[in-house]
Each structure stands twice: as C-alpha cells, then as structure tokens.
Structure 1
C-alpha cells in the first residue's frame, strides 16, 4: 500500500511539474497575417525597464529566418547585417529595455501569391508611449510564409528613413 501511495504521489508531482513547465500556446499570435504583424510590433515594444517576451518573439520566426538591418557602417558604406532572432535579442534586447522602445505601424502595403506574402510596413519609433514625435521612422520589408497551419516570418529587411532617403508618400498612407 505504501508503494502505491508513493507511486501516485510521484505521478501527481511529475504531472504538476510538467504543467508548470509547458510552453504557452502562441498559436493565436500566428493564426492570421494581421495577428503575426501586430504581435511582431507589440513584442519588441515596451517602456524603459520592461522586459520583452523573447519566447513569443522567437515563435514568430521560421527556424531559418533572418533579420536584416541596413545602413551605413563606420566607413560610410551601405551594408546589410544578417541576424538570427537570437542574434537580434543579444544585440538589441538590452538597449530596448534600457531605453524604452515602441515601434508603431503607420501604413502597410501587402502583396500575396499563393502561400507567400510580402509586406512593406512603414513604422514610427518612440521611446515612450506618451511621446508624440517619433525619434525614427522607416520601412520593414517583411516576407512571410503560410504553411497551411500558421504564418511564419521568413525575413525582416529594414531601412531607417534619412534626409537622403525620406519615406515615399505612397508608403505613408494605406
């Protein structure tokens, strides 16, 4: 009898442990194109001192996905950097939390063929939700795949607006 009680106790303990360590269900976040894009913007946004949900961030991306920021290097050459989602978290995660960062989509142009979609998503960036003037604007070129079960971000390729390259008017309105 003692043996049965011990076995049942262990079984219950393991079941409770398994429930506590289960990963959250993020399926709703990637069920539609809109949900996927909205989740992308919301998961990197937060006030100063607010930790981001990096598990949800990584869930958005295909295992071979890349984040590709463009801009000038120290020598003034225009380059592209190729980052995995984990690389982005390592290089930008701390800055986002220390400074506050809210990226807001202001316009979207979407093209779809079959199971692939290309989104030109124009954004404004703020350090706080209460800011009224963005400190940066740009365009995220987001390539996505719908595998029949969910949306995957394949790539995000982006460029910040500059005096030399202002955002064209066609990307500022829907």
Structure 2
C-alpha cells in the first residue's frame, strides 16, 4: 500500500511539473495596439519595435501590417553584385515572407539614431537614420543606413505609404546632417 501511495505521489508530481512546463511554453497572446498610429512618433517607434527582436524571437507581424496603408510598398535600394544601383519593391506581406525567417534566425535589432521630419498638411516625410544589431548586447552595429518613410494621415490615423531604404557603404557614407 505504501509503494502504491508513493508511486501515485511521484506520478502526481511529474504530471504537475509537465503541466507547468507546458503552460510556460505557451506563446504570449499579443494584442494589436491600434493607438500606435495616432502620431508620427508612435508610428515610427512601432515600426522599429515590431521588426526588432533577439535571435529566436518571433515578430508580431499583425502589428507590422497594421502600420501600412493597403497599397504601401517597402523599397530596398542598393548596388547589385555588378555594382549597379537597383531597387526592389515589396508589399508588407512580401517583406514578411522574404525577411521574417532571417530576422528571427539571426536576431535583428534596429535602432533609430537620428530623424528629420517634414510635414505638409496630411503628408509627412521622415528621414530616419538607423543602426542594426544582431543582439541588444552587441557593442557595434553590423549595418547602418537611412529609411525614407512617407506617411499619410486620413484624419483618423497615420498610414505608412512607403519605406525606401539604403544601407551605408564606404562609397556612400551617411552625411553628417543625418547623424546624431
């Protein structure tokens, strides 16, 4: 009888630990923050926050898509392997498909280090200089560049219309006017 009681206790303890481990492994339910588009500052901050994360950290792509106008484009600019300047146009869902896995596998933290904003009515243009890291613990960025972000306000919120970016290179350093 004692052996049966001890066996039942051990099984109960093991079940409790397994249940606690399973509960800890459940992903945290993220809630879409609809307030981040009420100002340009919040929209830009949300953009950097949503694409940034440590290695293995999933991005909240629903929040990412919420920032963009339905007809928005993300445009990567730079030189190809032949040294010719090229641009590559993507919709937000294409960006997620082409970059999402890489961001999660390698870690990608993008930080804004300088900003110049110009506004005319419901049109805004933000020149946002960034530094990119694989981890918050990195001492130096592995990449820098400028995001040219166009936004539209429909009277209710700010929409990202386009992001056109290019990376800094030795031949194309970031001008001092766009650095802190």
Tell me which structure has the larger Cα radius of gyration. Answer: 2
Task: Describe the superposition over 1:32-65 as per-residue Cα deviations: whole angstroms up to 9, x where unpaired.
Answer: 1111000000000000000000000000000000
Question: Does structure 1 residue 28 correspond to structure 2 residue 35?
Answer: yes
Residue number in structure 2 paired with 1:148: 155
Deviation sequence 1:125-151 (CA, Å, 0-9, x none): 000011110000000000000111001
In structure 1, what is the Cα distance between the partners aligned to 2:103 and 2:46? 16
Shift of 1:68: 0.2
Could you state the TM-score of these two structures normalised by the residue count of structure 1? 0.84
Distance 1:91 1:31 in 2: 29
5+ residue gaps, structure 2 = 1-29
Which of these residues, 86, 89, 95, is aligned with residue 93 of structure 2?
Answer: 86
| Structure 1 segments of 4+ aligned residues over 3 angstroms from their partners | none
Q: Which of 68, 83, 107 in structure 1 is aligned with 2:114?
A: 107
The total of aligned residue pairs comes to: 151
| 2-structure distance, mates of 1:132, 1:112 | 34
* 1:36 and 1:60 in contact (8 A); partners too: yes
Normalising by structure 2, we get a TM-score of: 0.82
Compute the RMSD of aligned alpha carbons.
1.1
Query: Mapping of 1:49-128 within 5 angstroms?
Result: 49-128=56-135
2:172 to 131, 144, 165: 165
Q: Distance in 1 between matches of 2:174 and 2:59?
A: 28
